[in-house]
Each structure stands twice: as structure tokens, then as C-alpha cells.
Chains A and B, each alone.
Chain A
Amino acid sequence: MKRATGPGAGLSADLRGTVGDFRIEAALEAPAGRVTSVFGPSGAGKTTLLRAIAGLVRLEGRVEAGGEVWQDRRGAFLPPHRRGAGFCFQEPALFAHLTVGGNLAYARQRAPARPGAATTEEVVERLGIGALLERRPARLSGGERQRAALGRALLGNPRVLLLDEPLSGVHFGARAGLLDWLRRLARNLGLVVVQVSHDLGEVIRIAHRIALISDGRITDTGPAGAILAGSGTGAPRFEASVLLEARVVDAGHRSGLATLDLGGQRLLVAGLDGSPGGTIRLRVRARDVALATDRPEGISIRNVLTGFVRELRAEAGTPFIEVLVGVGKADSSNLLLARITSAAAAELGLGPGHPVYALLKSVSLEDP
């Protein structure tokens, strides 16, 4: 059976309503097999949006998932237990009267059969909770509870997995691996994963798509790279940066410097822990990118990429300008953002289509 990954298999929600005195009016599209991060400040309505999608709070509007109508504008409303959206709460809601193993079994017993779904053994192993199975939640640390709760949600074999800051208490080192695993699971199972976070590092690591939310409204949504580059209009400005996906050519275990391939160009990065052939994600901050019109000689920066100016964006009220550069070809999907002064841009005569050399002072791996 081929798994549907078209828009029909994804999640589509258009919700509005008032919870307490908070007004939410948000439309969210999340494709199957992809991780969609809802990113925004605390109190922006992220949690409410997830709860409404799961049916835990009742908002007006329409929710469709996997071709199934969960609620519509005419008042049809499927209760949460008929939606079966996997949910990881911010403060893990394990059943206190059951052991960790009992909690997992609770989910398993009520899960629909789904070919290719993760087995209990796999989930237990990946989450590193094998030693905790006999323990009660009261005797777990915060991170252990979160991992157990994530395992329980996964073993419910949901089609839609809603994660409300599920890994905030998990040790930083373990978190990166878990996020990667979640991404792969989403892809392999055709799972819709909607993750809520205010941790940019987590979003960069996991998200295929990003929806920006503030004051109960989705202000921008799109592929992760484009949103992080800040191309969306009206989006709240992050510390401007972009996300690049690069292939590992040589992990550089001996030299300590890994060689990466980015659209045919080479990059050297330190501190990589991966194997050749794999794909990793890099974050490059706009202020760490310098531009040159000639190939620079005699400088210490090793990472120099060729590309073409795509767009110039003045930062109102500052002497700076942001230059969006397509790496390699002019229509490249790998975008870099450089923050330089307007004076420098004028001196270099930069304009759309202009070929440039981008000097990367610093490249960080995934987590900032």
C-alpha cells in the first residue's frame, strides 16, 4: 500500500474562537511525512491551537486530517478520543497509577494497527527508557517523564502527532538525536507532526515547515529555510539567519574538520558528529556572512561560496541592509542572508542577479 503524502493526507485546520479572554484565529496546513513547527513567543496561542486540533478545547472552524473531517463549520465535532491525535503535553501527563511500561501498554492496547508503525521495543530503545519501565512516574526526572510521554504518544499509532514543547526537559545532547529520529519517523510513517516550540534551536533541527504565530494568529507559514531567512512579510524578526542542508562528504574524524557538499560547493565545518553520505543542517547567521565581488585572497576564512544576489532588503532605521544570496546557481534553493552596511552594498554595486562571493565567518551545526 502506498502511503498518501498529498495534501489530503495532511492536516488542515482553520480555527477561531475565544478561550478565556484570549482570541485565536489561526489557519494551519501541515503536510503528512513532515514536521511543521509552530513558533512564537509564550502566550501567542501555540498550546491552544494544538489543543483545539486534538479536540481538547472546542473552537469554531474546520479541522481535517488524513482526509477525515474532524470538525466543520456546520457544527460537526469529533471528540478527542475519536480523533486519536497523539499529544505530548508540556508537563507530561503520565498516568501516576501505572508504571512507565504500563503507560506504554495503555497506548498500545488502544492503538489501531498501522503497517510499519514503530514497535514498543524500538520506541523504548530510541527513547532510552528501557531501565525505567518498572518505575512509577513519581520516581522519574522531568526529562525521563517527557521521553516516556513521547513514547506513549507514539505507541498510540496516531496519524497526527501534536507535540507541545515535548523535549524541553530532555538533556541537550540526547535531544538532537531524538529530534532527528522524529523527523525520520514522520517521513517513514507519513505522519503529520506539529510541534510547538519557542526554542529556535529545536525548530531549526526538526522543522520542515514553520508557521509563525503571535497574538493568536498565524502570521506567516512556509518551508523552514524561507521562514528562517525572514522572507515572509510581516513576520516577527528573529535574529536573522538561514538554514542550509548539506551532505557530509568526509566526516573528518582525523582532522577534526568535516567536509560538506552544498549544491556542488565545499564547506569545512568543525565539531561534526555524523557519517559520510548523511545530511546535516547548518545555521548561518546573517551577521556572520560577508560579501565580496572578487574572489578574496590571503584571508583566514576557509568557507567561501559563490552565488548570486537574489534580493536586497533595507532594514528601516538602521545603516544595515540584508542581502539574500542564492548559493551556486541564480535559482538555487539554498539561500544565504548577509547583513552588511548599505554603504558597502552601494560601493560594491550590488543588485539582483549580481554574482558574489559569500564569506562565512562562522557556521553552526543545528543548535545555536
Chain B
Amino acid sequence: MNAATVWPPIRLTLELAGITTVFLLLFGTPLAWWLARTRSRLREPVAALVALPLVLPPTVLGFYLLIALGPEGPGGFVARLFGEPSLAFSFAGLVIGSVIYSLPFAVQPIRGAFEALGDRPLEAAATLRASPWDTFWTVAIPGARSGLVAGAVLGFAHTVGEFGVILMIGGNIPGATRVLSIAIYDHVELLEWETAHWLSGGLLVFSFAVVALTLSLTRRRESGGA
């Protein structure tokens, strides 16, 4: 096993998952809030759209993303503003793809926590003269803390385990798009069983820890919530 081939994919994966998680919270939290609170007729269609990556084959999603991020798509247009030919096969493209792909995993628990909070605390804050903005930050966010943590953990973990979408839009460029799951695939292809074992075993332990942590957080919310 060679440290020079093992560590770059791990580092890249953690970077990707970390940045993706930040964006997931940034976009996912307001989206989850809207989904939890709105009475708009658009709610269910939007919720379905967010949940789509749960059922869509990653290759299908990856294919459409590839077109969107490629030189002919809107992603290519944006990329040209920064002097790049395309967002496909780039780290930025991976982040965009990962955010979309992992969105339901982050949004679901956050939305659930907002819904579990109910109207009462928000109404109480309003009668204490807290503006909606104030209420969001001082009541809704702290009240949904466990959901936010669960959403971040699941979003992070799901991004770490991502394969199909990344293969479609990122390819396999060492240091730029060659993440852990793809590295494992390569090692197996090259019959480097030992390295594959180490990386896979590590991911297995990591995934178990994540699921256990999320479950315990959700449990605590259910039993401790007043």
C-alpha cells in the first residue's frame, strides 16, 4: 500500500464533502424552512424535486448534470466567465453535483425538525416582539439543532459515498476529481486488493459511525423535546 496513492483521494473526498456540506446547509436550511412552513401549492412539487435524487439512478442524474455543466450548458457559460472551458471534470462541478445529489439527505431531517418545532414557539416569539428574522435565528434554528446536525452529518456522509454521479461528471482525474469511492473502484480493477480493503474497511467504519450518531441524535430529539 502506497501512502502517495492512498491519501490524495481521501483528502479530496473530505474537502469535497466538507464544502458540499457547507452549501447544503446554506441552501438546504432555507429550503427546508420553506417546505416546513409554506402553504403554497408549489410545496409538494418542490419537495418531489428535492427528493428526486433518492430514486433516480446516479448515472441518469450524472448524465443531465454533465450536459448542464458542459461547454454547451449553463455551467459552461458560467465557467467561461472565469476563463474555464467547462464545469464538467472540475472540482467546482463535483461540488455542484454533490450538493444536488445529497440535497434530500440534508433537507429531510432539517425539515422534519422545523415541523416538529411547531407553530407555538414561533408565535410566542412574535408576541414577545421578535421579528420573523429574529425568530428564525433565535428560536427556529436553535430549536431545530438536532435536525441540522443530522442533516449535516447525513449530507457529508452521503457525499463521501458518492460514486455514479461523480464518475459521470468528474471522471477520474487524480487530485481534482478522483475521490475515495472511485479510487477503490480503480484499486479493485487493478487487483490491488490490500489497498481496496483498507479504504473500504475505513469507509465501512465511517458509515456505521455516521448512522449510529444520526440515530442517537434523532432519538434524543424525540425523547427530550418539550
Contacts and interface: CB of A to CB of B under 8 A. Distances in A.
B124 A87 contact: yes
A332 B134 CA distance: 54
B4 interface: no
B127 A85 contact: yes
Nearest to B120: A93
Contact of B138 (A106, A112, A138, A152): A106
Interface string B195-218: 000000000000000000000000
Interface string A55-84: 110000000000000000000000111111
A55 B130 CA distance: 14
B30 interface: no
Contacts of A138: 224-226
B126 interface: yes
Given A96-B143, A137-B226, A87 B121 contact: no
Interface in A106-136: 106-107, 110-112, 136
A95 interface: yes
Contacts of B125: 81, 95, 106
B128 A107 contact: yes
A88 to B, nearest CB: 9
B145 interface: yes
Interface of B is mostly: helix
Interface residues of A, number: 33
A87 B123 contact: yes
Nearest to A84: B129
Given A106-B138, A136-B226, A138-B224, A93 B124 contact: yes
B131 interface: yes
Contact of B123 (A56, A86, A111, A152): A56
B74 interface: no
A94 interface: yes
A204 to B, nearest CB: 27
Contacts of B135: 81
A158 B128 CA distance: 8
Nearest to A138: B226
Contacts of A89: 120, 123-124
Interface residues of B, number: 22
Contacts, number: 82
Nearest to B224: A138
A97 B142 contact: yes
Contacts of B134: 81, 110
A78 to B, nearest CB: 11
A95 B124 CA distance: 9
B120 A81 contact: no
Interface in A37-57: 54-56
Given A138-B224, A138-B226, A91 B127 contact: no
B14 interface: no
Contact of B127 (A80, A97, A136, A137): A80
Contact of A95 (B121, B129, B145): B121
A138 B125 CA distance: 18
A110 B129 contact: yes
Nearest to B127: A87
A254 to B, nearest CB: 48
A55 B132 CA distance: 14
A91 B120 contact: yes
Given A95-B121, A95-B139, A97-B145, A54 B127 contact: yes
A145 to B, nearest CB: 8
A156 interface: yes
A97 B132 contact: no
B202 to A, nearest CB: 35
A153 interface: yes
Contacts of B139: 95
Nearest to A108: B128
A80 B142 contact: no
**Residue among A80, A85, A158 with the highest chain B CB neighbour number at 10 A:** A80
A85 B226 CA distance: 24
Given A136-B226, A138-B225, A138-B226, A86 B127 contact: yes
A303 to B, nearest CB: 45
Contacts of A152: 124, 128
A84 B145 CA distance: 27
Given A95-B139, A106-B128, A106-B138, 10 more contacts: A56-B123, A79-B132, A80-B126, A81-B134, A82-B129, A86-B128, A87-B127, A94-B124, A96-B226, A107-B128
Interface of A: 54-56, 79-87, 89, 91, 93-98, 106-107, 110-112, 136-138, 149, 152-153, 156, 158
5 contacts: A81-B134, A82-B129, A111-B128, A136-B226, A152-B128
